[in-house]
Homo-oligomer: A and B are copies of this chain.
């Protein structure tokens, strides 16, 4: 990261995740990732994150610390209906306010529960308790309202810990509220933090790094980040609100990344591989069917995560046994006996078999050894074949040797198969 310019505490934010399950429960706080990204777009920089249990004294301690160093404090969790949920009480105690049942909080909750044909129970009535002077933030997807208040020149915001509820309330209430605040303040000139992300598949991290050497001009107020995972290497460009980076520079660097990464770049921003495929298949009016052995249904699951995927996904065959490969896909038993179920030949026959049976534009297949068992002298764990059949002799097979445990090998295999389909659809579109 580049050295930082003089801090301006007025654009410093802190997140506080509240919940004992985040301490001893083996659970990570993921809400702060969403909040950090949303505040960054407003030019507000999350520089501290705290996590604390459902303990009133500990929450008071953390909240007092946060207000000393940040001007925007966003708390998640501890607003549930049980007595363990003491965020409301801790905030009231810290700020010296009373808790009182607020009509607008109760009305919103009652209306929401009525949709589910329920009425508030005793615990839920506690959720309508709001510190005096606070603004109620409605919860469009759950029963617990949130609230915001100003204390010691800081804006404190309390949201439920359920990610879906927190995200909806960030979008509908918190971001507009903070945007309006900043609009009316001297900080309106602050640059939003821009973060661009680029998703690659198929290159090791060191090769992505090598391709990007020298891209960022010396001293440019932009960070280049690389992050490797089983699903590929993510590349990011991040600006800082403390030094301004011109939009032009950022655009030039983004173009540089696109050019240097080329075909290895499969998506940008929040788009997933399966969403990219959905877009490409829809554009070209193609339909697909899959034949999965070692991935066990993961490719079908991923393709059907996309709303509207029923328009282009016809079916899938999870053919775990050899008999299933023969019965569901017409792979000749002799072919399996001769080459083994994990072979180029069987991958190819599986892709052709599913395409013909489903009468779709393209068939995609995977067969491999996910481990930990199943390896032979010549076929190690991680050996995976991907097949694609587009009809009329248009067929591809690819061999991969993946490292990792069973779950990682399944993930990588699904990504390799979907990327092969992506490249095929793109190639088809340009000819």
Contacts and interface: CB of A to CB of B under 8 A. Distances in A.
A24 B374 contact: no
Interface stretch (A129-137, A322-330, A422-430): A322-330
B315 A27 contact: no
Interface in A22-54: 22-30, 32-33, 36-37, 40, 45-54
Interface in A282-325: 290, 292, 294-305, 307-310, 313-321, 323-324
Nearest to A25: B225
Given A20-B1, A297-B318, A7 B307 contact: no
B47 A23 contact: yes
Nearest to A404: B164
A265 to B, nearest CB: 18
A307 B4 contact: no
A296 B307 contact: no
Interface stretch (A56-64, A102-110, A253-261, A386-394): A56-64
Identical chains in the assembly: 2
Contacts of A236: 21, 25
Contact of A301 (B40, B226, B296): B296
A346 interface: no
A240 to B, nearest CB: 9
A18 to B, nearest CB: 11
Contacts of A297: 290, 292, 296-304, 316, 318
A123 B206 CA distance: 10
Contacts of A305: 296, 406-407, 410
B25 A55 contact: no
A226 B21 CA distance: 9
A22 B267 CA distance: 21
Contact of A296 (B7, B303, B328): B303
A24 B36 contact: yes
B315 A121 contact: no
B371 A307 contact: yes
A408 B374 CA distance: 33
B406 A21 contact: no
Given A33-B28, A296-B300, A317 B320 contact: no
A121 B398 CA distance: 28
A320 B313 contact: yes
Q: Give the one of A24, A123, A193, A296 with max B CB within 10 A.
A: A24
Contacts of A340: none
Contacts of A379: none
A319 B315 contact: yes
A195 B404 CA distance: 29
A55 B47 contact: yes
- What are the 8 A-B residue pairs with the smallest beta carbon separation, nearest first? A297-B300, A296-B304, A297-B297, A316-B318, A315-B324, A49-B51, A297-B301, A28-B28
Contacts of A304: 294-297, 318, 320, 370, 410
A65 interface: yes
A82 interface: yes
Nearest to A206: B121
24 contacts: A1-B53, A4-B55, A7-B57, A24-B46, A24-B193, A26-B197, A28-B33, A32-B51, A47-B52, A49-B51, A50-B51, A164-B405, A292-B300, A295-B304, A296-B313, A296-B316, A297-B297, A297-B302, A300-B318, A304-B318, A315-B318, A316-B320, A318-B318, A327-B357
